Amino acid sequence: MSETMIRPRPTTLVLNPSDNIAVALANLDVGTATPQGVSIVRRVPRGHKFATRLIAAGEPVLKFGQIIGFASESIIPGDWVHEHNCGMGGADGSLTHDYALAEGAVPPEMLLLDQRATFEGYRRANGKVGTRNYVGILTSVNCSATVAKFVAEAINRSGLLEDYPEIDGVVPFVHGTGCGMESRGEGFDILKRTQWGYTSNPNLGAALLVGLGCEVFQIGRMKEMYGIREGETFQSMTIQERGGTKKMIEWGVEKVKEMLPIAAAARRETIDASHLMLALQCGGSDGYSGITANPALGYAADILVRNGGTAILSETPEIYGAEHLLTRRAINREVGEKLISRIHWWEDYTRRNHGEMNNNPSPGNKLGGLTTILEKSLGAAAKGGTTPLTAVYEYAEPVTAKGFVFMDTPGFDPVSATGQVAGGANLLAFTTGRGSAYGCKPVPSMKLATNSEVYARMTDDMDINCGDIVEGVSIEDKGQQIFDMLLDIASGKHTKSEDLGYGDNEFVPWQVGAVM
């Protein structure tokens, strides 16, 4: 037998020499002797942590060489470290960071144009490039959602799409807002950016925007704000203007029929990877996320950046406590300060709504081994790789900068990804340790399992297993595997979530402000 076949799998992992905890890679029962020279005194589940030395009450708990919390009581060597003895507050109840703005930005070694990776994509008239070719039906308000669904169903059930193999489908993007809201301010601006961002996403070959007519979110006002002109690939109408539900459905079906041959005329062509805009997501995280899938995805993001592309990190509540690692990588003070300002906005936002930033991790995250938001954030931030932070965007703002960027979004995956797609993402990679069930139209979503168990249990949902990293596969090799698959997916290869049909219900704009 080869050495690889007989080599025993490790049962524990220390991530940084300064750490005072280790991660269990298997269930550790009481009495188990560990390579760290301590004996387990309380059962430690797989993916969870145990103390490798005495941690006094109030002392920082260190993982990745960073603070993930403070001991709420004295923790003896070999004891399980989790919510019962580790919390957010230190001895003085506070946590501060040295943001070191722009002090650690190291420009990556960029590849020349003739050295860049390529994919087969759809080049649009405005210069953007799509990885899919959908026809979208968007709604200005919840009151027009049913009509949008009926129009899409009529087309998808008619068999018409069989004549247009270049079209991936007709999708209704419906939501629960658009009225009962202020006609100006934060909430309105977010919805406006999201709606036009989806309408203009390069993965849509054509789009309809349908409304009721009397809602707060007026289609005509949005068109005026963005200087939108209707044409062969974009049309709008309201139910009231058209004369009722049946007439509106008939109009919508006819308009889509007119758009189908136009959208189907698009053909894939070879395009360099600088036209890829990758949305980075993680959900259903566990104790392996920051060890396996997230850093491997970060390595793939670095490859994309060196190829001239763009990687979008988001989920602001899930970088909380790790933002100091990102501000160091900011290309200038302005970019770093903008990120800090969004962190402060979230602190105020949660305070106003009688919450706290440590409401995240979720119960599932905690079962998987994550104790505090600080620990989760350190792992989540690894998706962003190592290249400089070139820009910070508000939710659903058009992403125009190249390289590694950040977009302010909630941590709730569908809401976060909706903002990234509205910003222009044409590809999405999603890491998960608990097994999130997710897909994203019109943008293909590749799912990365953080551990081998969830990959084996949910193989129909997972595209890549990153759990083998703890078994000896390098972060670099896994990152290259992820990047290669991203190119294949961008060129038309279906993800598991696409084969399952996910994506019709994952359009969830962020709703901020009072519902009137």
Q: pLDDT of 344-370, one tens digit each?
A: 999 999 999 888 887 768 888 999 999
260 contacts: CB under 8 Å, gap ≥ 6: 135, 155, 160, 161, 163, 164, 167
Let me know how long the chain is: 516
Angle subtended by helix axes 145-158 and 245-264, to nearest 10: 50
Element holding 169 (H helix, E strand): strand 169-173
Scan for tokens 């707060």, then name that residue: 216
Kindly indicate the confidence band of residue 516, based on its pLDDT and cuts at 50, 70 and 90: confident
Owner of token pair 């590694």: 404
List the chain domain ranges. 1-96, 134-265, 274-500
**CA separation for the pair 451, 434 (Å, rounded):** 9
Tracing tokens 């708990």 back to the chain, one arrives at: 61
Give the max Cα distance, the chain.
78
Backbone torsions φ then ψ of 216, nearest 5 degrees: -65, -45
For residue 1, is pLDDT > 80? Answer: no
pLDDT in tens, 324-336: 999 999 999 999 9
Examine the pLDDT at 6 and tell me if it is beyond 80.
no
pLDDT grade for 455, boundaries at 50, 70 and 90: very high
Report yes or no: 68 and 81 within 8 Å, Cβ to Cβ.
no
pLDDT at 2: 41
> 140 and 211 in contact (C-beta within 8 Å)?
yes
Domain 1-96 has CATH 2.30.130.110: yes
pLDDT at 424: 98
Q: Could you give the strand order of the β-sheet that contains 269-272, starting from the edge strand earlier in sequence?
A: 129-130, 118-123, 269-272
Give the pLDDT score at 360.
Answer: 67
- Provide the pLDDT for residue 200: 95
Q: Which residue has the higher pLDDT, 239 or 225?
A: 239
**Residue 142 identity:** N
82-108 pLDDT, tens digit each: 999 999 875 444 456 789 999 989 999
Closest C-alpha to 293, from 393, 173, 419, 429: 429
DSSP 8-state code for residue 282: E
Q: How far apart are alpha carbons 18 and 38 in whole angstroms? A: 16
Query: Does domain 134-265 fall into CATH 1.10.3470?
Result: no
The arithmetic mean of pLDDT across residues 46-51, rounded, is: 97
